Every structure is written in structure tokens, then in C-alpha cells.
Structure 1
């Protein structure tokens, strides 16, 4: 999976990769040539007292060393450019893929996990790409080249390498095999920390309101401790590996010096040759060490690549048809035809056999008890989910056959939990339509009954909005979200219990303004209060995911027992409130 991901993205930067190979090869050749020059300098220049030869060879070594440094710098530059581009491209594709997900896929992965995959996991793959283009390419060149050059210098000492290299590989293999499962657990624990942190930041008001700071701190401490435990195990393996590698390296050098000294004493080799052989041994074992270090990095990057590929290769249920319909025959029409919906893994459907119609300009209200399926039902209109049975049509076209951009352009959705983005009031309203003028923004605010409080702000439309709209009240946030949907100028407006934070007077004024100013727009209204929907053209009553009545307010009072129960319960609650 890791190799497939690297090939998929690095193949776009072939020229940079060729540069890495060429200059790394040049750097390796220069590094391998230097010990030979050093041996000649000692054996021919120093031992013979030839100062001229020493100067000439020394200058030649300086030129080779500078060439090696320059080649290494260029190779590293090319590797860094390719790796940074790789990270950018993967993050772009992961973001684009997640943006195409329906609510089902986002829920399946979890928002915290998706963030981790597009940040920490991509960083691990990117880091491996940098190291691979430098260390992993250099390691075999140095190891193989070093063996060849060492054998040229002294075949008699080569048996030492035959012992030390396998020992080094066995040590690295044992440690790396223990690290692989730990890296997988480590990334999962990072997901958990991100999830807890995100929940606490998003729900900070709730945490403080219920005095849960200590408990939430304990939750975070537990998740944080889990990461520490796994990280400590990984760290202990790192700590164990490098001393063992250095032990093998140092024992090998001692062996070379010992047995090389015996060879010199016997007259079978020269001092310069021994020095060169020692340098080649260092290069060989250094190459093996680099390969061992990469062997540690590869498992973690492989886990990250697997997690990234799970996102990139996942098939979203929000699939655009092969021949999408971009011309809508009607404007504002919504129709449900025997629609049912079941969440994956659920034992029973959330919606069962729902049918109703909203003609252009009409208002259809949806009411029912908590958990009746109201939000799920309206989520089917903009294709946040797809119906498992039956069909949903918008503007005369089955939503599964419509061009998604055209479909969404014709729908203005005000969610149950209105979300505002970091920026200003104006930038949030223009989220619906970027070219909207200030006059259009103020008109939308007037309809949404938000103009007064915006005018009271010192900066008006330029008032700063914090992430999520946490610096405005719930009612103000709802009205700004409604204004944003109006600025969008859709043919269908969908309100998911979007008046719940408004007082009755503001609720009434807002609905009157909507009906008066937008008579041509179809309105689908989910509401909890009966008073909000009494003037709707039709009211759909939901009870446990099934239709328990469809008609006007007066008709439902006569025909729907569930509707009468809802009215009676709300009236009883109001009377109790008055009595209290």
C-alpha cells in the first residue's frame, strides 16, 4: 500500500527523482573514492616523504570532498521538493475525497480520524519520502560500493564483514518486527486524542455549564496517557536499537584494527591500506545503519499510508450519475414517493413508506416527536443521504440523477445546529453567494429578523465571527444562518427546526417576512412548535418514522390522533408554565 501510494504521487515528479538518483550516485562515488586516495597519500606520500605527492593528492581529495558535498546538497534539495509536493498533493486529494463524502462516510471514519489522516499520517509518508530519497537510496550504494572497494584493498579481512553485516541485519529485523504493531496502535491513539480534544473545544460551553471540567480533563488525561504508553514502548525499542548497532560497529572496527595489525606485522598489507579498509568498513556499516533506520521508519509510514488509502479508495454513497441532469424542468417542486431509509447496521428503518409533495411556492411542514426521523427526511432532499427505497425528487428530477452542483444550487439548507465560519458577518452571508451586494445582505437580514442586532454591532457587516459562531447567541446564530440561506437565492428553502432558539414574537415576524418576501420559494419546515406551522399549506406528521397524517392544520385536527396529542402536550406544557 505504501509503495503504491508513493508511486502514484511521486511519478508526477520524475525529473526531480532523476536528479536525486544522479546526484546521490555522484555523491556515493566521491565518498567511496576518498579512502583510496587517503591510502595512496599515506602509502606513497607519507611513508616515502614525498611532500609534492602529499600536496597534489591532498588537493585532489579536497576537490572530491567539495564535489561530494555539492552533489549531496543538490540531491537533498531535489528530494525535499519532491517530498513536499507529495505531501501537498496527498492532502489535496484527501480533502477533496472527504468533501465528496456523505454524512454516512464521515460518521463511519469520524471527523477526528479524518483530520489525523490528513495531517499526521500525511506527514509520516512525506517524511519517509524525504528519507527514502536520501538515506534509502544512499544506503545500498554505500554498502555495496564499500564492499567492492574493501575487497580491492584487502581480501584477507573481508571475513569480518561476513560476520558483522548479518548480525547487524538480524538485530534490526527483530526490533523492526516488534515496532510494526505498535505504530498501528499509536496512530489509533492519536485519533482518540484528537476526538476528545475536538469534542471539548466544540462543547466547551456545555462542559462548563455542567461543571465537567475535571471529568473531561480526566478523559483527555486517559487518552494522552494511552499515547504515552505506546510511545514509551516505541522509544524503548529505538533506545535499544542504536546502542546495539553501535556495539556491532565498534566491535567490527576493533576486529579490523586487531587483525589488520597482525597483517601489517606479517608484511601482508600496508598501513594506508588498513586505514582505507577501516574507512570502507565504516561506510558499509553506515549504509547498513541507514537501511536499519529506514526499516524503522517504513512500518509507521506504511500504517499511515494504509489509513490514507482507506480514505482515498473508499467509495462514497454520494455518487454523481454517469449522465447527470443539469436542466431542471420545474422550479421549487419537491416530491417523496414511498421513501424508506435505513442506516447501515440498523435493525429497523428510520423512515418507512413516506410520500408527500410540495409544489412551487408552497410551505410543507414536518412535525413529530424526538427521534421520529424529521432531520433524516429532509437530509434526503439535498442528498446528504440516499433513500434506501423509493425516490426523492427535487425540481422535477430524481435527486440521484441530478447534477449535484445544480441540485445544491437550487436548495438553501438551514441545519438544526447552524454553523458559522471564522470571518465576518458579511463573509458568512456571502458563503451562500459570493457576488451578493451589501444591499442584498441587508435585505436578507431584514427577512431573517437579524438586521437590528447587526446594526447595533460597532462594525456592522464587518463584525468578526469566531469559529462556529461561538461569539453570538444561539438565536442570532440561527437568524444569520437563515439570512445566509436567503442570500443563496434558492428555489427550495429547507429549515431543520431553525426557529427553535427564537421567541414566539420573532418567530412569527420571521415567518411572515419569509412568506411575504419569498412567495415563489418552496419552504420545507421542520418544527417542534405547532404555532410555527399552523399556516403551512400541508403538514406531515411523523411517528416513529411513519406518516401519521398529512394535511392542513384543521384537517389534521380532525383526522390525526398523533397530531392532536402533540397539540395537547404542548398546550399542557404552556398551561403548566403559566401556572408556575
Structure 2
């Protein structure tokens, strides 16, 4: 887990190595100063030797300046290394997420991934910087100060040793107890982010149903959970300060009392006592810094684990060693295909699917909600792998293709249409980044989108807001269809992607497909018989099984499910010719 994180240090290894070196140099300079101070008092002030005072005082200034420069360099390199690690972690996670299959994505929530990319990485960044600086500085300071104290006077230095041992045991117990609360806290950020994301993305629905109060309560509950956990953790950590203060002042009193007696008996000098007091503060303050490092590390353990989960996640889909780099045609064949989203599922979503679709055919898919229509078409572009059986596209198993090549030739317009912030042309060129404006216009004419685009003041340069919030549902669907057509695919899949357009426009889109792209295999999922009846053949799905596969006329005669849907729609006069897309 830790090795996974540290792999991302990469080009910041030098800064990571330089930071502790500079921190140790800073500590050495700080340890020299009390030793020189004792010499000034004993051999300069008490002896009345002004030359010695100037000489040793100059050395103290040099040591202080060197310590200052070393500390500044350590801070600079530590910030560079930790910020660089955070940058690399975010890039590595984002890049790995791009390789995920849908099965991988299903394991993580959107809010969870956002938390990992932000809050968790920030925790790791802070912990890494503390580790490079304080985790080297504090132990080095304790060891150096303890060594110097024992060199001056073993009897008084033993007070430090006892204090360090007692305080170390107490702090370890406190931090260990607090760690479990910190580990509970950070996953709660997922719930908080999920609440915010859900509210903002669904703000229109929230306001339409006047549910602001309930949403506020939901957010407050998530926020309150984080607050309570952190309060419980901090109740343990907050005992650090009083324990430290008590230990520091106890040591100072003991050293002053015993030291004064030793000065009177001429077994200790005034300068040595001053040095011991300075080392006392160094030792105990370093111990406090070390305790804060442990607190920070304990807080980041959960974050390290969560980030490592994303980095170690490997795609369930892999390219073959020698992939097929061309899709010959749009022929599709399912051979005894079963599919389940999870390996341990008792009942597959799709069961014993056997289909043979010729290249250039128009195939409709009809079925009740939950009949696995979308699951079926997701297998064609290998967004998921089949659990059993074979899926053949263009004469080759889909697992034999390079995934990028396959997906470039299987263009899918999903149920949830997504447009990105940018102009209409920029959105269309997601289908083909090198497409000319003329090609984009032609695709839009095929998708019946050109008519409303021309009515915009800026035409094809009209800016689309994030998520396509400034265009209607029907307009968004037609833009997504045009974007898919620009890929010039061998197979075009429309997953209920004309549900928001009127029946007249839907008919125009299908007629344009027949006339303009006759060699492209077209698969249309719809709940409207009118959208499917002129297809070459129609698949009727029922609970993951094929209940019928024939032309419209044959299904009306032979398939009960299809006939019932047909009669229920035609008896009511069919769909209203509402221009939902306008």
C-alpha cells in the first residue's frame, strides 16, 4: 500500500532526499548553539574574557545563519516534494480511472472518487511533508540533545531520559486510540460529497418539489457525522499539549533545583546549567513535534488505503497480445451468451442469447424496463465482457480486437446523453476531432439537429453549458446522435436516444439513416413501436431472454408480448406528435 503511493514520487526523489538532509543540518546547528552558550558564560562572562565572548559569539551567529538557511532549504524542498507527490497521485488516479471498464467503475461511487482525488490526496500531501521534515528533524533533535546533555552531566540528563520514556508511552496510547476515529472520519466525506453532488445535479427537481428543507437536513446529517467523529478523535489528541507542558515544567523545576545544588557544590557550572535547560526544551519540543507527526500519519492511513485502492485497481478488460486492428463490417453474432454484472451472481442478466445480425441491417430492440436491453448492446462495444459464450463482430470475437479500434467502429448513443461545456462544434468533434465544419453540418442534418442549430444566434459556435443545461432534452439527443455519426461507425447503437423527440422528427432521423448510411448496422432501442416497426427485424427481450426475433408484421402475428405493446399504443392513437425536442 505504502509502496504504491511512494512510486508516484518519481521526479521528486531528489527533493525528497534533500529535505531530511537539510533538516538534520538545521538540528546540528541548533544543538551547537547551547554548547557555545555555555562556553560564553563560563569562559567569557564569568572569566571576564571579552575576546572569548566575541569569538564564540561569532561562531553562534554563523551556526544560527547556517541553521536558518538549512531550515529554509528543507522547507522549500519539502513543499516541492509533497506538492509534486500530490500532483502525481492525482494524475495517476485520473489516468487509471480512464482505463476502467464499467465493471470497475461500478465498484466506486462518483463522490468517493472525488474525495480520493481531493481530500485524501491533500491528507497524504500534508503527511508526506511532515514525514520528510519533522519525522527526521524531531528524532535527530532528541538524539543530539540527549547526547549533548549526557556529555555535560549524566545525572541531570537522566531526568530527560525518564521524561521521554514516560511521555512517549502515554502519547503512543493516546494516538493509537485516536487513529481509529480518524480512519472512520474520512470515508464519511464520501457521504458529504454525495449529498452535495446529488443536490446540485438535481437542483431543478429539488426546487420543483420544494424539497430544499429535506436536502438541507440530509447535508447537515452528513456534516454532523464528520463533526462528531473528529470531536471524539481530537479529545484524545488535545491531551498532548497539557501533558507536554506538565513534563516540560517538571523537568525545568527538577533540573533547576538539582542544578543549583550542584553549582553550589562546584560539580556543575552556570553555563552548563543553562545549556541543559536549553536541551531540555529541545528534547521535549521535539517529542511534541514527533507526536504531531504520528497524529498526521494516523489521519492519513485511511487516505493512503483509499488512494491505493484506486491506483491498484486494474481494468477487468484487457487487450489481447496481438489484437485485430480493423473491424471488417458490422455483422454481429451472439453464440450462447450469458452475462452477469458480478461473478458470484446466481442469476445472469442475459441468458443463452443467440442472434445473427447481418451487416447493414436495422435491428430494433423492445422490452419492458429491466429486461436487459442496455446490457445487451453494452456487450457489443465491449463495455462489459460476456460471462459465457461468444460475441462475434465482423467475423472476430470482440475479445480479439484492440478495444480502441472496436469502440471507434461501434458508436453508442446512451440513454443518459452527456454534452460537455464548449461550443456545439467542439462537442460534435468528440466523434471525430479532425472533422471539418461541413462534415459536422452533414451529420447534424442526418440527426435533424441542423434546423434548431441554425436558429441560434451563434449557430454552430453556440456555447453549450456544462451538462447541456441550456438546450432541451430533444436537442441534446439529436446533438449526441450527430456526434456518434461523425465517427463513421460500422455499427450505430441508439439506446432509447430519441425518446425526447417527436414522432415526426424520429421518423425523419430513421429515414435519413436508411438513405445515407445503408451499410452501417443500426440497432435501435425504444419503447415506441412507431420507432421500430420499419426495422428489418425486431428483438423482443423478456427478463434477459429473447422472446421473439422477427419483422414487425411477424411479431404482431406470433409474439404475445409485442402484440400487447403494439395494441396498447395504437389503440390510444399512438404517440402525440409533440415537438419535445424544440
Asked if Structure 1 and Structure 2 have the same fold, meaning a TM-score greater than 0.5 normalized by the shorter chain, the answer is yes
Contact 2:503 2:576 in 1 (8 A): no
Counterpart residue number, 1:331: 329
Distance verdict in 2 for CA 1:104–1:573, change over 3 Å? farther
Secondary structure of residue in 1 paired with 2:351? strand
Counterpart residue number, 2:480: 481
Residues 255-306 of structure 1, C-alpha deviation per residue, up to 9 Å, x if partnerless? 2222212221221111111111111111111221121111111112111111
Contact 1:103 1:384 in 2 (8 A): yes
Contact 1:9 1:89 in 2 (8 A): yes
- Whole-Å Cα distance in 1 between the matches of residues 575 and 421 of structure 2? 41
Q: Does 1:412 align with 2:403?
A: no
- Whole-Å Cα distance in 1 between the matches of residues 447 and 202 of structure 2? 26
Query: Within 5 Å, which residues of 2 pair with 1:515-534?
Result: 515-534=514-533
Counterpart residue number, 1:162: 161
- Whole-Å Cα distance in 2 between the matches of residues 81 and 118 of structure 1? 19
Contact 1:28 1:68 in 2 (8 A): yes
Residue 372 (structure 1) shift: 0.8
Counterpart residue number, 2:469: 470
Taking only aligned residues, the RMSD between alpha carbons, in angstroms, comes to 1.8
Contact 2:5 2:308 in 1 (8 A): no
Q: Does 1:301 align with 2:300?
A: yes
Query: Within 5 Å, which residues of 2 pair with 1:212-251?
Result: 212-251=211-250
Residues 313-342 of structure 1, C-alpha deviation per residue, up to 9 Å, x if partnerless? 2233222223322233x2222222221112
Q: Does 1:340 align with 2:338?
A: yes
Distance verdict in 2 for CA 1:461–1:276, change over 3 Å? same
Counterpart residue number, 1:400: 399
Counterpart residue number, 1:502: 501
Counterpart residue number, 1:280: 279
Contact 1:341 1:350 in 2 (8 A): yes
Contact 1:5 1:305 in 2 (8 A): no
Residue 254 (structure 1) shift: 2.3
* Range with bigger deviation, 220-229 or 318-327: 318-327
TM-score (norm 1): 0.96
* Range with bigger deviation, 345-354 or 195-204: 345-354
Q: Does 1:45 align with 2:44?
A: yes
Residue 484 (structure 1) shift: 1.0
* Range with bigger deviation, 544-553 or 357-366: 357-366
Residues 107-140 of structure 1, C-alpha deviation per residue, up to 9 Å, x if partnerless? 2221111111122111111111111111011111
- Whole-Å Cα distance in 2 between the matches of residues 511 and 6 of structure 1? 52
Counterpart residue number, 1:194: 193
Distance verdict in 2 for CA 1:426–1:250, change over 3 Å? farther
Counterpart residue number, 1:10: 9
Secondary structure of residue in 2 paired with 1:14? helix
- What is the count of residue pairs matched by the alignment? 576
- Whole-Å Cα distance in 2 between the matches of residues 58 and 457 of structure 1? 79
Contact 2:421 2:467 in 1 (8 A): yes
- Whole-Å Cα distance in 1 between the matches of residues 80 and 67 of structure 2? 20
- Whole-Å Cα distance in 1 between the matches of residues 182 and 572 of structure 2? 55
Distance verdict in 2 for CA 1:401–1:254, change over 3 Å? farther
Residues 459-517 of structure 1, C-alpha deviation per residue, up to 9 Å, x if partnerless? 22222222211221111111111111112222211110000000111111111112222
Distance verdict in 2 for CA 1:572–1:255, change over 3 Å? farther
Counterpart residue number, 1:70: 69
Residue 575 (structure 1) shift: 6.8
Secondary structure of residue in 2 paired with 1:318? coil
Q: Does 1:350 align with 2:349?
A: yes
Residue 525 (structure 1) shift: 0.9
Residue 573 (structure 1) shift: 4.1
Residue 576 (structure 1) shift: 11
Counterpart residue number, 1:569: 568
Distance verdict in 2 for CA 1:423–1:129, change over 3 Å? same
Q: Does 1:253 align with 2:252?
A: yes
Counterpart residue number, 2:580: none
